[in-house]
Structure 1
Amino acid sequence: MTATSLPAGGGRTLPLDHPGPWLRRYHGAPARAAATLVCFPHAGGSASFYYPYSEVLSARYDVLAVQYPGRQDRHREPCAESVAELARTLAAELAARVPADRPLAFFGHSMGAVVGFETARALERLGTGPTPDLFLASGRRAPALSRDDGIHRLADRALLAELQRLGGTDVRMLEDPELFQLVMPTIRADFKAVETYVPEDGARVRCPVVALIGDADPRVTAEQAAAWRDHTAADFSLRVFPGGHFYLADRQREVIATITAHVDPLKA
């Protein structure tokens, strides 16, 4: 799994089933799915980042991965300009498409953590559909600690160097000038959306929150991740894994065990 996603047809089988343009279901859901698990990608990422997780977890859950505009099969669409814009649209999509008769869990990595958080809050405000019973926030400092690090304003090569520092991008694939020009605007737009994100004072979700990070993440400390406890009205826990910002690529088995340990006890 890499941070940067190829256009459609670039290394992944197209989805088996995709309920609308915003959601991808790569593997069929079990007849009696124990829960719906919605996964939100990082900046520059796509739904296919979660393909390996879907491959394992779809044996017990209905796994849906979010596809932001501006990448893969949506590469001709303009990227969203803000986290709020993404959250509003995704809340409406999920309210219309996710069944309310089973538990609902969100997993978001990096940018996906704040998009998932604000989508959960938008669903709670809607009050017309399911709301998350659990939120897993990965690789991201708490919303109240959000800041603009100026990454989206860097020159292309400096931005690429930052991605390389995070360790999730195979920069060799961006040595192709055509591919580089195709992918970089999406990465830049995503970083702008997340770096200009400012949560409301006291923003919380009603469900429990689990924060997950790598112990060598250059972007998030354990203390910053632990501050997610201030963004839930329910229980909070923190899990630290060996690894950097993309620890979940190398620690798939442990992360899946953490997900199932928290999702399985949820009751409809």
Structure 2
Amino acid sequence: MHASTTSGGSWIRLLRSSPQHGQVHLICFPFAGGSAGYFRSLANSLEPDVSVLGVQYPGRQDRRHEPLIEDIGQLADEICESLIPWETQPLAFFGHSMGSVVAFEVARRFQRDNRRLPLALFASGRRAPSCHRDEDSHKADDDTIVADLRSLGGTDPALLDDDEMRRLILPVIRGDYRAVETYRAPTTGTMLNVPIMAITGDRDPSVSLEEASAWRGHAAGSFEIKVLTGGHFFLHEHVAEIADCVRRVLFGFRSDNHEGKGVGHGRRT
């Protein structure tokens, strides 16, 4: 099915059939240059246990005529507002790469404002906010950014070979790079009363195991790290396994054993 706009305006997209009342809603936050539809395969793998919704940032696809938001804090503020209609339902957050930082900042705002906290935060393909790297890819020329995209493997090479598509894609990538590269974790309020699972690829050049493990420093409660084979876009090869991780953390069961419920205790695997 096509992603559809639901309550929450143009920001939130339902990625599978209409959820049941009281069902857990997994809010998915895309990577730099990514869109809500990227998580459709995860949505299919989690059906029928979890309803999956994707965040659609402005400046891409059907929102391509809207101005980009090149500040993580502003993005988080806008998304917090868009999630108000969903707050009566149990939520969990899943971010990949830049999306992990955005999801973290949305969770921080929920906690600060005494809103209903997510059941869990899944931080995929991103170092902890406390681990800063000096990066300025957003200042690079187009060819350098294209080479970076090719090395990470998350963009269809055919799109990068097409001059017209490059003209559409590169401003979005550059804007998202600017947002995440200029982000600095706040000095206070970075500990979440939310279970955190960090998921990382063992060959991801943008995240070391130490940097992924540092998410533990943002978890007041349980923490777990899952290391999978692959580079930055390891999600492609591990959708079913990641779906099982989500089920286990949220309900205490795997897809082949639907016994037990409740958020699981953190442990390293």
Q: TM-score, normalised by structure 1?
A: 0.89
Unaligned segments of structure 1, at least 5 residues? 1-12
2:199 to 182, 195, 212: 212
Contact 1:29 1:59 in 2 (8 A): no
Residue 66 (structure 1) aligns with: 55
Match of 2:86 in 1: 98
- RMSD over aligned Cα, in angstroms? 1.5
Note the residue ranges of structure 2 that are not aligned, 5 or more in a row: 252-260, 264-269
| Stretch moving more, 178-187 or 200-209 | 200-209
2:65 matched residue in structure 1: 76
Q: Does 1:134 align with 2:120?
A: yes
Task: Say which SS state the counterpart of residue 115 (structure 1) adopts.
Answer: helix
Distance 1:227 1:16 in 2: 36
Superposition deviation, residue 208 in structure 1: 0.9
2:150 equivalent in structure 1: 164
Does residue 180 of structure 1 match 2:169? no
| TM-score normalized with structure 2 length | 0.89
Question: Are the counterparts in 2 of residues 29 and 58 from structure 1 also a CA contact under 8 Å?
Answer: no
Runs of 4+ in 1 over 6 A off after TM superposition: none
Identity of aligned residues (%): 40
Structure with more contact order per residue of length (Cα contacts < 8 Å, sep ≥ 6): 1
Encode CA deviations 1:132-152: one digit per residue, 9 max, x unaligned: 121000000010113331111
Per the alignment, residue 10 of structure 1 pairs with none
Q: Within 1, Cα distance between the matches of 2:47 and 2:177?
A: 30
Please say if residues 28 and 55 of structure 2, whose CA atoms lie closer than 8 Å, have aligned partners that are also in contact: yes
Residue 243 of structure 1 corresponds to: 230
What's 1:222 paired with? 209
Map of 2:74 onto structure 1: 85
Distance 1:160 1:218 in 2: 16
Aligned residue in 2 for 1:146: 132
| SS across alignment from 1:69 | coil
Question: CA offset at residue 156 of structure 1?
Answer: 0.4
